[in-house]
Structure 1
């Protein structure tokens, strides 16, 4: 990747607080090449004189900082390091860039004339992917051939047609961490589900996709269920689900989700196979709006959501369906113990593989919440979850925040239980 011609020591790197990002992408979904421009407003935190941003797949063509050109050199890194004009703590800056990238491989889903981004936001804009505590507002303009649709964060701020192309600008409205920002573009048909929910529920799918209303029918009841358990209403006017036939995609984004047909299609024959809709919708609270402060606390995103899929199934299909999900989660976790040993949910070290990480953060997390539910009792458990969720909307949190919310619901000390399961003590 491109970097400035300044070599920086770790002690000289200042942290940053991203505030606003304005990104414009020119996309032709049938081609992998994408051109981008970005304006990024940030505050420097601390006395370091240099800041670093991830660029991953991006080839930066031009850059300016506070209106002055940045000289770029190729050094083989995946980051952009910038020297700031002063070393004092604080200071607001504007970084502007033009760049290009190949929208393929990790972080992208491609199908004919359809392109969607998935999780790795720094593969299509300059950001800091793993800094989950850094929330910022995004304005995203998507320039496409006329006749193609786009889905972006928040709502549509403007749309312009010119010279056979359509430029749609999306504005997030809320501030989110980088990893939940995403988009989908291409030849997509739009279906608005007819439901009693106040939130508009929309499905996008390639032309010719069938049975969409039947497959996505549970969405409204799921949304109401999660609102109740969160103690907080879904805050946006609409929620979109992008159906990708034949895909194994399953990814939440700021105001939409990618739903792969491999995971969803079985619902037509087995209605209880509704987990992927529930899982990605639940992330609109646990993950997108109440976000783990870093990867060591990621069970607060994935473990809670995996458990809540089981809780949804319990409400819709009965306790046997709940037990089935918890037994399955425990089996997956214990297989990991047999091969790699066990660690606490808030383990801050490395994992041998992504599968190992998921065995702990998704599956052990869900089993822990089942045990916690039994330990504190039904009413106290759900009140604790609602207090944790509603009290931290729009914030990044750690496991201690969750423990405190649960402790508030009972006079019984929670230290021993949390030490065993969460802290690994």
Structure 2
């Protein structure tokens, strides 16, 4: 039986009840097709949306109500859209439906989410289909710069599928079952100003212009939800042997640079097409977006913040996003291991393709950049923060930490599997996995089973690294050499101070030879090996290229000397850690030079023109404070005083601004056990004014103190001299080098 629902969605006054705390029941309603019409208003920052969703009841029970989500699960605070009216049309009659907005925990990972319960007059029986017509307005906040139409140079419509801007049947993940509702087909019509260009993650069927308005019609190439972008892009088209490349850019410099790298981009796409399942179609699109945010994979293409394209070193970012055509689009994932099956796979694929195309030396810096971002970013500069994260989302771990680990630790895990399996066997395994699960949803168990079917010894490694947080810490504990009649006998004892098995490459060095090898050392144990050689062995170097999962804190300075930080591109917040490493190594001048270079790059990225608004930026004030400490260590007190004056408003705001508090803790320069009292002591020592906060005060009272202190600073405090001597005395206790 086919029934029709017409849902009107607006952002004006709401006429429904919000019901708190009701449990979500698991109703497998499958959405199998979307028909979408969008009309963006670039002056009003709205998108008029008309969406028809075809669904059917895939369960064994009759349903008296349906659950739908719209901008609810994913945190998109800049947009809103709420259902205002629901009208059900059934055969020849129509009637208003009752519905309510419910707030509840969805599974164990999504807390306090809201969704809609729509009551049906007649039950939806197993196998029945239903069609819902939604009309709603996506609307941003009143300020100039916010989604869905990001204000910048140029203005840009920016709709990622992650935003959940399309109404979706809400189905909690059921262990062992694939949520098929997340793989619908779709058609899109979008109307927009004729000077603009729209791009969707699919196939363009037609584009017409009438009375200054363009109308595009697109359809899905890969099942899923579309990403949509629209702006006054600069465009260029390149023809390759197998594929065409369309480039859309918000800036000419980045357009020209990507165009100059087009031959390499074709190589990357062909690498993926050869090593994984075949793509759909022959047109790939790269959108160099005006909206800050790094990058995002789209079907048959990639989205990258155009400010992140500054040199050939940024090819890794493009390669990562292109890899999502396979890991995220063609092979999509669900369940708590979904980030590994998307982000870890994409990061590994990017480095592996670069390894073949650009050579080992270039690729080693990509592998090292991953090691920086998961190991030294958390361990070195933020020793006092929760540093280790699993790759599987577990309730006791921060979601963002798990996500970042999958970008960085994840590809190194896959590299270890490749190294142990051997490239030939590993490539066959990945090709067969992508082919078997092409256009399907997979869980982490599917990947593990597939790997183990090729090599049963990999199961322990995967369990240790995916669910665990420990790392191997392997080093040479003892070495003795005895000369024999035929040469030399060397007994070396390898020790693993970590709790899990360590698999590490090894470089055996003699007078004029270097021989590669591998070792495996169980956790919390020793392994002794005897080598018979013609020449005397002079050294054993574990993880010689510093590109593997072995953790060796004593080699941090060597790591940074080996790493060319140009490969980090504009990720300047990671570059800070190199400055901190120099500081810990007793080289404050080098720390200053590196951090000053970070500031220069960040100004270019953000288009900041002066330091006047440093306290408004989420990063600058924290790192100005850190550089002041570097200056003091280098006995450059006046420059330290200048940086501290600019950092003081930021320090004050960190009392109440949680993001700024986290950033300044990540510098490693603030006591994490008692940050407020430490910051109070810093401010008091510098200014001579009491900045103590009374015990037990509320957040509002803390804000009141902060505003009073900021007012005093702006009107009076910044005119005085800072007491560097008193402040230097405070530094004797923290931070400790």
Question: Into which bin does the TM-score normalised by the smaller protein fall?
Answer: 0.7 to 0.9
Structure 2 partner of 1:317: 358
1:114 matched to 2:156? The reply is yes
| CA-CA distance at 1:10 after TM superposition | 3.2
Structure 1 partner of 2:452: 407
| CA-CA distance at 1:288 after TM superposition | 1.0
Structure 2 partner of 1:42: 55
Structure 2 partner of 1:225: 271
1:59 matched to 2:105? The reply is no
Deviations 1:256-309 (A, max 9, x none): 322212221x22xxx233111101111101111111213433211100111122
Structure 1 partner of 2:584: none
Q: Which moved more, 1:97-106 or 1:296-305?
A: 97-106
Equivalent of residue 189 in structure 2, options 123, 138, 141: 141
Equivalence map 1:261-300=2 (5 Å): 261-264=306-309, 266-267=310-311, 271-300=312-341
Q: Which moved more, 1:112-121 or 1:413-422?
A: 112-121
| CA-CA distance at 1:41 after TM superposition | 0.7
1:105 matched to 2:105? The reply is no
Counterpart of 1:10 in 2: which secondary structure?
coil
Conserved in 2, the CA contact under 8 Å of 1:107 and 1:119? no
Deviations 1:147-191 (A, max 9, x none): 322111311233444443222111113312x3xx21111222331
Conserved in 1, the CA contact under 8 Å of 2:298 and 2:329? yes
| CA-CA distance at 1:372 after TM superposition | 0.8
| CA-CA distance at 1:17 after TM superposition | 0.8
CA distance in 1 between counterparts of 2:169 and 2:361 reads: 42
CA distance in 2 between counterparts of 1:288 and 1:254 reads: 6
CA distance in 1 between counterparts of 2:219 and 2:235 reads: 20
Conserved in 1, the CA contact under 8 Å of 2:46 and 2:148? no
CA distance in 1 between counterparts of 2:453 and 2:441 reads: 20
- CA 107–149 in structure 1, closer or farther in 2 if over 3 Å, else same: closer
1:352 matched to 2:398? The reply is yes
CA distance in 2 between counterparts of 1:324 and 1:3 reads: 57
CA distance in 2 between counterparts of 1:365 and 1:3 reads: 46
CA distance in 2 between counterparts of 1:186 and 1:195 reads: 26
Equivalence map 1:88-237=2 (5 Å): 88-103=125-140, 105=146, 109-111=150-152, 112-123=154-165, 125-127=166-168, 133=180, 134-176=182-224, 178=225, 181-196=226-241, 198-206=242-250, 210-211=255-256, 212-230=258-276, 232-237=277-282
Deviations 1:59-99 (A, max 9, x none): 33544445545446785864232123216434211111111
TM-score, normalization: structure 2? 0.52
Structure 1 partner of 2:304: 259
CA distance in 2 between counterparts of 1:175 and 1:153 reads: 10
CA distance in 2 between counterparts of 1:116 and 1:310 reads: 28
Query: Greater helix share, 1 or 2?
Result: 2
Conserved in 2, the CA contact under 8 Å of 1:154 and 1:173? yes
Q: RCO higher in 1 or 2 (8 Å CA, sep ≥ 6)?
A: 1
| CA-CA distance at 1:19 after TM superposition | 0.5
Equivalent of residue 460 in structure 2, options 392, 416, 423: 416
| CA-CA distance at 1:207 after TM superposition | 7.5
Structure 2 partner of 1:305: 346
Conserved in 1, the CA contact under 8 Å of 2:139 and 2:148? no
CA distance in 2 between counterparts of 1:3 and 1:90 reads: 32
Equivalent of residue 365 in structure 1, options 405, 410, 425: 410
| CA-CA distance at 1:27 after TM superposition | 1.1
CA distance in 1 between counterparts of 2:291 and 2:197 reads: 20
CA distance in 2 between counterparts of 1:12 and 1:118 reads: 27
CA distance in 2 between counterparts of 1:170 and 1:106 reads: 22
CA distance in 2 between counterparts of 1:207 and 1:380 reads: 43
Counterpart of 2:164 in 1: which secondary structure?
helix
Conserved in 2, the CA contact under 8 Å of 1:15 and 1:51? no
Conserved in 1, the CA contact under 8 Å of 2:391 and 2:402? no
Equivalent of residue 123 in structure 2, options 62, 86, 89: 86
CA distance in 1 between counterparts of 2:402 and 2:150 reads: 23
| CA-CA distance at 1:58 after TM superposition | 1.6
Structure 1: where are the runs of 5+ without partners?
A: none
Conserved in 2, the CA contact under 8 Å of 1:296 and 1:348? no
Q: How many residues align?
A: 413
Equivalent of residue 243 in structure 1, options 245, 266, 288: 288
Structure 1 partner of 2:513: none
Conserved in 1, the CA contact under 8 Å of 2:53 and 2:131? yes
Q: Which moved more, 1:16-25 or 1:112-121?
A: 112-121
| CA-CA distance at 1:34 after TM superposition | 1.5
- CA 256–80 in structure 1, closer or farther in 2 if over 3 Å, else same: farther
Structure 2: where are the runs of 5+ without partners?
A: 1-10, 72-79, 104-113, 174-178, 470-737
- CA 163–16 in structure 1, closer or farther in 2 if over 3 Å, else same: same
